Structure 1
């Protein structure tokens, strides 16, 4: 890194962290969604998606934590993963959540929004 950093570099650095976080979430959602299809790791392609997806997700999450605070990164990663996997379960497996599950998912979304909008710890 050059001795003199540009004024916008910290923001750009944080934005790269959030881009990597989005990729980590996608990898985790693919892996988790493939677990059911792997049928106990008896089907090759879904099993490979599970393993490679989780390896990619955790590697990317490790990179994210270089620029995004660990609590913020993990809250967004796990919250977004829960919401997205729940939506995929509705579409692929016809697993429709009941009212309590929908309220819980709504609270997760609200929690992530509060962290992003109001937390001083969050690297915007």
Structure 2
């Protein structure tokens, strides 16, 4: 149950860190660069408690930000890959439930 309480924090911190990395302009923007490491540090601390969910949701949300905000192309291969990642995370979590974890 604890991982579900920490999960939103980890996801939001990873999302913020990845977005700040893009805004850091090759780490030339000092404020965005520092925030990248702060947000990722918090996120990596949390990820050990909810790794599969954290990783999958982080990839999903960063991909959505890239497509919507940074206008990255969203071809069928990219969308299918994101769907496969999300399906894998769901299956990993279902296997934990069935194993009694």
The question of a shared fold, defined as TM-score above 0.5 by the shorter chain, is answered with: yes
Distance 1:100 1:56 in 2: 31
Superposition pairs for residues 8-19 of structure 1, below 5 Å?
A: 14=1, 16-19=2-5
For normalisation by structure 1, the TM-score amounts to 0.71
Q: Does the 8 Å CA contact 1:27/1:57 hold for their aligned counterparts?
A: yes
Query: Are 1:89 and 2:75 counterparts?
Result: no
Whole-angstrom distance in 2 between the partners of 1:58 and 1:79: 14
Aligned counterparts of 1:21 and 1:58: Cα–Cα separation in 2: 11
Structure 2 equivalent of residue 78 of structure 1? 55
Q: Which residue of 1 aligns with 2:85?
A: 108
Change in Cα spacing, 1:25 to 1:100, as seen in structure 2 (3 Å) is same
SS in 2 for 1:93: coil
Gaps of 5+ in 2: none
TM-aligned CA deviation for residue 59 of structure 1: 1.8
8 Å contact kept, 1:115–1:122: no
What is the count of residue pairs matched by the alignment?
Answer: 100
Partner of 1:99: 76
* Deviation of 1:121 (Å): 4.4
Is the CA contact 2:52–2:93 (under 8 Å) kept in the aligned structure 1?
Answer: no
The 5 Å alignment of 1:42-81 reads 42-62=28-48, 64=49, 73-81=50-58
Query: Which 5+ residue runs of structure 1 have no aligned equivalent?
Result: 1-13, 65-72
Q: Which has the higher helix share?
A: 2
Q: Aligned-residue CA RMSD in angstroms?
A: 1.8
